[in-house]
Amino acid sequence: MWMARMSVVTSALVILSILVGASVDHAAAAGLSYEFYKESCPMLEEIVRKEVTRIYYIHGNAAISFARNIFHDCAVQGCDGSLMLKSLPGHEGEQASERNFGMRNFKYVDEIKASIESACPGVVSCADVVILSGRDGIAMLGGPHFEVRLGRRDTREFSRSAADAILPPHDTDVDTFLKFMGNFNLSIPQAVALIGAHTVGRTHCIHLVDRLYPTVDPTLNGTYAEYLKKRCPTPNPPPNAVLYSRNDRGTPMIFDNNYFRNIMQLKGSLRLDNALYLDPRTRPYVERMAKDNSYFFATFVEAMSIFTEYKVLTGNEGEIRKQCKSVN
Ligand SMILES: *[C@@H]1O[C@H](CO)[C@@H](O)[C@H](O)[C@H]1NC(C)=O
Ligand SMILES: *[C@@H]1O[C@H](CO)[C@@H](O)[C@H](O)[C@H]1NC(C)=O
């Protein structure tokens, strides 16, 4: 009697665990999860954190590059590692797009990927390495630390023209910007928080001079315009990325809400930066984020989780690249 009941219970458990197992597998195949590499690469997050820390102390700006990679990869057909693919003879990749001008330090992403490959070969996508290294880069710069869902797969498709068509130009306006962010289902405060990443990094003179010459953009702080003219002394800067101005003169290497205080004084490098303060739709959030760093961080993290999960490849789609710079 006892035995019989046991076996009924046991077989019920077996059936239950088959069902649970099936639904777990299905969930993993269908999407992303916080524990995606728990079995297949348990040291992953530690490896990336160590690598990002190591690289940060060699080249602090690389942490900013890692953060930028997230935006520039995910914006173009979802976070799929497409940004990392080098141009081939006769086929230009996203890195060749004018919209990605000045993006650099891609080699470090491949260094991180190589460390991961030696611990768990063929398992972790470059798309996820972009997300994890960007996330850790933001934390190294003093920004918020947050958990991310993983399990993205890498695309084999990449083209300069996709980046040209999708990434907003440097002189974008608030309407275009909000529409662009709306495509990712980001709210206005989330969009404002994401652009707060301009608290680090630099703007190249080729993207500044049209606000300085022949006449100074009236939405630019006059004192600040004089400084920018010193940084960019000629209306025709050289086409390489040598002349630039830091986005946040106060704390250029710290991920904080100083960006919002700057744009309230009309000291944003890009037209859009100041426009976010001048536009009544975005101004209340600029003012609130300028006052409240934890509101900025919390909204930024919300925005990142939406933005980084938009239209990703999962399951059997795409591939797991061996190195980030080329398809397998
Ligand atoms: C878009 O955002 C709204 C509000 O946050 C949410 O209810 C909706 O499910 C989201 N839609 C998609 C497709 O993610
Ligand atoms: C422009 O910058 C100066 C110097 O930093 C500052 O004192 C002034 O308030 C700013 N102007 C505006 C309109 O915010």
Q: What is the pLDDT of residue 262?
A: 95
DSSP string, 34-89: TTTTTTT-TTHHHHHHHHHHHHHHH-THHHHHHHHHHHHHHTTTSSSSGGGPPPBT
217 labeled part of a ligand binding site: no
Q: Confirm whether 26 is a catalytic residue.
A: no
DSSP string, 183-227: HTT--HHHHHHHHGGGGSSEEEGGGTGGGTSSS--TTS-HHHHHH
Does the residue 312 lie in any domain?
no
Q: Which of 167, 194, 226 is the last residue of a domain?
A: 167
DSSP string, 15-39: HHHHHHHHHHHHHHHHS-BTTTTTT
C-alpha–C-alpha distance, residues 276 and 271, integer Å: 9
Q: What are the structure tokens assigned to 304, written together?
A: 């990142």
Does the residue 314 lie in any domain?
no
Q: Which of 133, 167, 201 is the last residue of a domain?
A: 167
Residue with CA at minimum distance from ligand 2 atom 4: 223
Does the residue 244 lie in any domain?
yes
Ligand closest to 184 (CA) is 1
Domain that holds residue 205: 174-302
Q: What is the CATH number of the domain that holds 203?
A: 1.10.420.10
Calculate how far, in angstroms, residue 278's C-alpha sits from the geometric centre of ligand 2.
Answer: 15
User: Do 160 and 200 have their domain in common?
Assistant: no
Residue 288: phi and psi, rounded to 5, are -70, -40
164 labeled part of a ligand binding site: no
User: Do 233 and 258 have their domain in common?
Assistant: yes
Residues in the chain predicted with pLDDT less than 50, given as ranges, are 1-29
**Cis geometry, peptide bond prior to residue 189 (ω within 30 degrees of 0):** no
Considering the candidates 26, 59, 72, 145, report the single residue annotated as catalytic: 72
Calculate how far, in angstroms, residue 188's C-alpha sits from the geometric centre of ligand 1.
Answer: 13
Q: Which of 111, 134, 167 is the last residue of a domain?
A: 167
User: Do 161 and 179 have their domain in common?
Assistant: no
Ligand 2 lining (C-beta closer than 6 Å): 221, 223-224, 265-266
Q: What are the structure tokens assigned to 3, written together?
A: 């035995």
136 labeled part of a ligand binding site: no
User: Do 50 and 163 have their domain in common?
Assistant: yes
Does the residue 77 lie in any domain?
yes
Count: domains in the chain: 2
Instruction: Give the bridge partners for 145, in sequence order.
Output: none
Residue with CA at minimum distance from ligand 2 atom 1: 221
User: Do 156 and 27 have their domain in common?
Assistant: yes
Does the residue 83 lie in any domain?
yes
Q: What is the CATH number of the domain that holds 85?
A: 1.10.520.10
